[in-house]
Structure 1
Amino acid sequence: MLYGSIIFVVEFKVRAEAHDAMSRWQVQSYGMDLRDFHAGSRGRVIVPVLCATRAEHQGVEEDFTVVIENGIADVVRAGANDLAERLLALAQYARRDDEPIEPNNWLASPYRPTPTIIEAAVRLYEGHGVRELSHRHAHNLDLTTQMLVQEIELARLQRRRVICFVTGIPGAGKTLTGLDVVHDPELRGNAAAAGIFLSGNGPLVKVVREALVIHQTRKGRRRKDCVHEVGTFIQNVHQFLRYHRENPEAMPHEHVVVFDEAQRAWDQGQMSRKYDVAASEAAELLDVMERLPEWALVIALVGGGQEIYLGEAGLEEWGRALTDRVDRWHVVASPEVLGGGESVAGHRLFDGPAPPESPVPRRTSGSPRRRCAEPPCPTVGRVGERVPNSTPRRSSRARPRLS
């Protein structure tokens, strides 16, 4: 609800008689999300209001005041009978010298995390506790992360769209690699890329978020603050795509997207059943990233043989989506992604030969051929170059690894 320069966030609890702590935090977090992620709400006074419809009528006290801290007021408690009175009393906090909020512009404002929330999330990740989720040695992950950061910088400088396929068997550290990339300090400098970690695995998102939160609360930080901050870079892929589906003119704030367990992306049939969308999840994500006019980079973390639910399309679905966009995306992939191998359980990116006009990977002289301790660490190919009328050949030699 907009009034002058104030944003009221009203949460109704129908048939509730009390304003319990969980409900108060719920509406407060809505206000924090608007402040930190919605461009049109930045710098405005946001007042969370919790209305328990059966709460006892209290009216408005003579000394009724609201404490506002960092743009967010304390949660105002109301019932169905005194909600209007309290909202009118709150209207006094609309400063006459502030420019009123224009509703249409406010509704059209994009998702855009504030610099302060990004810095908070980066600090939260520093010295994080997610590394315990992986059994890999840190130096193996660091090499993979460094290579991906280099690809991101090249994509930015050369103004092109790139998709990188990182492969590895379960437990190789792919998820941690993706988290390291989106939190990498080299990407958080002046005019640097913003990255986001997406997963369709709801339980995994919860586990990763909780690991970060627990690690920080052990240092004495408030849990509520940590929960709010960690959502900056770790989101559910279905929610990310739904937002951009419902806002077809909105461009992603993030130039870099990490798609965890990319082999489990839904095919067109499942998308049609769930959302009445005539495109696969892979195709829709690429379309969303193409809204960015200059450059974009997608990191697809792929594990073989983990397509376990109805509609999970596998590695080949990404190949089909890329075949339809052959002139718009460069591909960076390991030989196993193109020819099939252990880390992808024999699956191949393209059902047949790679499209003749697609940018396909080619080993450059001096490329490292290293091995790491078992289980294998994540694998990624070198930079893809445009090789017209060529077909990638499966190497008979041991595949390159990063160590």
Structure 2
Amino acid sequence: MFNRAFYSAPLEQFLVTNALSISGEISAAHTQQLQHQQSRAWGAEIDILKRELKLCSADNTHIFFEFMIPRMGRRADVVLVVKGVIFVIEFKVGAQQINHADLRQAHGYALDLKNFHSGSHDKFIVPILIATNLAKPTPLQALFKLDFAFDNVASPVAIHSGQILNVINQITTSLKQVEFDANQWAASGYLPTPTIIEAAQALYAQHNVEDIAKSEADTQNISQTSQQLLQLIHDARERKCKVICFVTGVPGAGKTLVGLNIASTHSNPKEKEYSVFLSGNGPLVSVLQEALARDRKVRIADTLASCRRQTEQFIQNIHKFRDDSLSGAVPPEQVAIFDEAQRAWNKEQTSKFMQTKRNQIGFNKSEPEYLIEVMDRHEDWAVIIALVGGGQEINTGEVGLLGWLNALDEKLVIGMPITLQIY
């Protein structure tokens, strides 16, 4: 049986196994000429981890030494799976300072896992650089604040070896991820993730959503969710009613893919079920618009300017949509899809911004309240699809799912008829 790592064991087994035995197992798996310096480095890593992880929760915690990233020809020094979070640890034994090249190396291993290891596509990954002789941190430096990219890979953390348990506990406590079987995860093979750009291009080229889902999310669930939402949109139009749908799931589950599928299916303004995909991620919106425009140009031999007009009409920045609606006009789209709806602003944040930046004196609504009000301007029917991510910390002023439910309570009190669906 192929072994993904030179050494692999549950943490409780690692902690009670003789260090020389572990080092010997790692050395035996090493197929190239072994340098004494490398053996010493493994010994130091084992001693540090045994010392620092002895108080770590051993339940379903697994450790891997020299974890091979499929097809990349690279091995991460240590990978720890703790409470549903993957920690990729790069040791620099004897180093007294942080080197930016080493940070990039640790971050690169995490990105390789995310993009090329199928079991890692939907996981939170934290790259850690340990300079073993780094000066011990002050209490203030012992606090960690991670920035996660859209793919749930954190920016690299550089720490002293004595901070390992602290950083693991802080991160796992804040993320609260569902635990998974580390051996099954490790055994999953090579599978590159299609980027959201590639996915959008495939949808816009009229491929079926299940053709491009691959392994980031369950193909069947994505297809079924898309079909159910399309049917609800059609039913809302036929029955002349207003519907709000919440599509929830962890990052990587395929929510954005579902939203893009709906928007691309009804991207023609002349359609009765004309839809718009709205995101507060400005760079993502710009890149998607441009990528789809260039793709359309190649496929239909139209001018790039014309293609840009086509793609910009159904993928838009939610803030521009919001500001354009201040005139009180009814939006042409009957269906609005809000990506990362959990990041909508609360009443205090929205009101402050609208009054100071948009000169809307007296504005006193949360973003969900306002966006619901805008779509309610349609006299006959309208559909809101809110894509809500789970397993993410909410930043200051962001309402989460509860903010949308509270906004609905306000509307229901004043008699706005709404059908609520959650998937």
Q: TM-score range by the shorter chain?
A: 0.3 to 0.5
Structure with higher helix content: 2
TM-score by length of 2: 0.45
TM-score by length of 1: 0.47
Structure showing greater relative contact order (alpha-carbon pairs closer than 8 Å, 6 or more residues apart): 1
